[in-house]
Structures are given as structure tokens and as C-alpha cells.
Amino acid sequence: MRGRTAGRAWALTGGAAALALLTATGAHAEGRGDIRVVKTVVDGGGNVIVGTSKKITFPIALTVKDDSGVKGVSDADTYDTAHGWGFFERTGTSCARKSHTTSVCTVTMTVDPSWIRDSDDMDSNKLAGVWQVDATVKANDGDYWISDRIAEYKVKRASRLTADAAPEPVAKGAGLTVTGRLTRADWEDLRYHGFTGQEVKLQFKADGAAGYRTVRTVRTGDAGKLRAKVTATAAGSWRWYFPGTTTTARVVSAGDPVKLR
């Protein structure tokens, strides 16, 4: 069974938690009194990366102010801005008083990747990208404020990247072939598939060097495969670096050490 109606909570089969869904709208706020959300930080300011098996939990920190003091957060939602769908469950809310007028309220969001496919009636991978946060906050004197799009952040599909340099060892000045494969999480079948047509940087760190340097940029081919031929001039490690996209996480392969003979 798949599909939900916007604005309703829908309980997943198999005992999974209910997931709230709202239709995305433009920025909007309404309420009563002087209570406001003055700052919103999602997951410490980073991207939220979701793979195929690991349950993901992250905080949304709301700094709330009112002259009478803050009572708390009565509702909070997050969903993608393009389609108005979301698959995170709110699993906790707590507020820490910072002063007479100000509190920082933390909303905890959680998803198990196994929930995602049943949370919508489309290709769930389309939900990767820019998401927004909505919240309703209340004050001790009865003031309240309902805010849409008080923050935007990115929810990305997890990615993987491999590297293999051969032959090992290699003669100085001889040719060396570095291969690899870029894959990313598919939220429909919970597997990793090749990510084609992406620019990936081949990097090298000579033994004793402080860090890696980019040697060239290669575009992924069929099934996300990478291949580059270089000249071995020094012993060191080779790796691939993918900077990520709006929908897919940044990833760096492990370095493959190659010695000279």
C-alpha cells in the first residue's frame, strides 16, 4: 500500500511510525503576539544524508523569543520544497531556557530508510534536494506563531566511491591505471546503483606529502565506472573525490597506495 493525502498523517503498515505530510507552500507566518522563531539550525548546519539501511536521526534547533518566556513547540514539520512530501518522523522535542525571554527548542527527526518507499506514491528519489522546516511555537502568555519555511537545508542520497590503482608496484615512469566506481543510494529498492555522467577528481598524495592534489577530472561512465591512465613518478596513494550534487552526498574513496620498484 502506497500513497498519502497532503495534510494528513498516514500510518505505515508493519508497525512503522506515522509520518506527517504537508503540502509545500511559499513562506508564510501567522499568529498572535510577539513570539517569534529568530533562528533555526538544522543538523548543526550540515546536510542530512540518508542511505539504504541505517536509521538517521538529526536535530532542528529553534531559538524562540517572547517577552513572557517560551512555553514550547506545539508542532514542527519538514518536507521537500519541490513536491511537498516528507518522510521524517518527529521523535522528540525539548526546550532549554536561556533567559527570561529566550529558549532554544530542539526538535528531533528520524527516518528508517525502509519507511521511505511506502511514504509516497512517486519515485522516492525525487524527494532528494532542498527541504524546508515549518514550526508552531507558543509563549507563556498565550501568544503563538505559525511559521512556514523558517529554514532550508538539503536531504541527500548517500554515495560510495572506490579506487584501485594497478599495477602494484610499478616502475618509475611507467603507466598506471586507476579505476573506481561511484554509486548512490536508491530509496526505492534500498540498494546502491552506479551514478553516471558525474565529474570526479583523481587525486594523488606522494609519500611524505601533507595532502592530496588533483591530477585530473574524469566523468563517470556506464554503471558509474571510472578509469584514468597516468604516469607513475613517485610512490604514494591514489584516490577519487566526488564533490556531490544538490541531491547526492559528497564522497571520497579510500587511498590506494602504490610503491615504485
Omega within 30 of 0 (cis) for the link into 169: yes
Q: Is residue 28 very low, low, confident or very high in pLDDT (cuts 50, 70, 90)?
A: low
Question: Given this model, what pLDDT does residue 55 score?
Answer: 98
The reply to whether 46 and 65 lie within a common domain is yes
Q: Which three cell numbers stand for residue 59?
A: 536535530
Indicate if the pLDDT at residue 51 is higher than 90.
Answer: yes
Domain-embedded: residue 74: yes
Domain-embedded: residue 4: no
* Number of domains the chain contains: 2
Domain-embedded: residue 212: yes
Question: Given this model, what pLDDT does residue 27 score?
Answer: 53
Q: Per-residue pLDDT tens for 5-25?
A: 233 232 232 323 323 333 333
Domain-embedded: residue 181: yes
Domain-embedded: residue 251: yes
Q: In sequence order, what are the residues at sequence separation of 6 or more whose Cβ sits closer than 8 angstroms to the Cβ of residue 246?
A: 128, 129, 130, 154, 156
Single residue among 107, 128, 156 that ends a domain in this structure: 156
Question: Given this model, what pLDDT does residue 30 score?
Answer: 86
Cα dihedral value 47, 48, 50, 56, nearest 10: 150
Q: Cα separation of 216 and 230, whole Å? A: 9
Question: Given this model, what pLDDT does residue 33 score?
Answer: 93
The reply to whether 94 and 202 lie within a common domain is no
The reply to whether 126 and 168 lie within a common domain is no
Domain-embedded: residue 144: yes
The reply to whether 202 and 97 lie within a common domain is no
- Percent of the chain exceeding pLDDT 70 equals 89
The reply to whether 163 and 149 lie within a common domain is no
User: Which CATH number fits the domain that encloses residue 145?
Assistant: 2.60.40.10
Average pLDDT, integer, range 137-158: 96
Q: Per-residue pLDDT tens for 206-233?
A: 999 999 999 999 999 999 999 999 999 9
The reply to whether 111 and 221 lie within a common domain is no
The reply to whether 190 and 164 lie within a common domain is yes
The reply to whether 135 and 218 lie within a common domain is no
Question: Given this model, what pLDDT does residue 113 score?
Answer: 98
Which domain does 138 fall in, by range?
9-156
The reply to whether 25 and 118 lie within a common domain is yes
Question: Given this model, what pLDDT does residue 4 score?
Answer: 29
Single residue among 132, 156, 180 that ends a domain in this structure: 156
DSSP secondary structure string for all residues of 131-177? EEEEEEEEETTS-EEEEEEEEEEEEEE-EEEEEEEESSSB-TTSEEE
- Percent of the chain exceeding pLDDT 90 equals 88
The reply to whether 44 and 74 lie within a common domain is yes
Q: Per-residue pLDDT tens for 86-145?
A: 999 999 999 999 999 999 999 999 999 999 999 999 999 999 999 999 999 999 999 999
The reply to whether 30 and 130 lie within a common domain is yes
Domain-embedded: residue 242: yes
The reply to whether 82 and 191 lie within a common domain is no
Single residue among 156, 189, 208 that ends a domain in this structure: 156
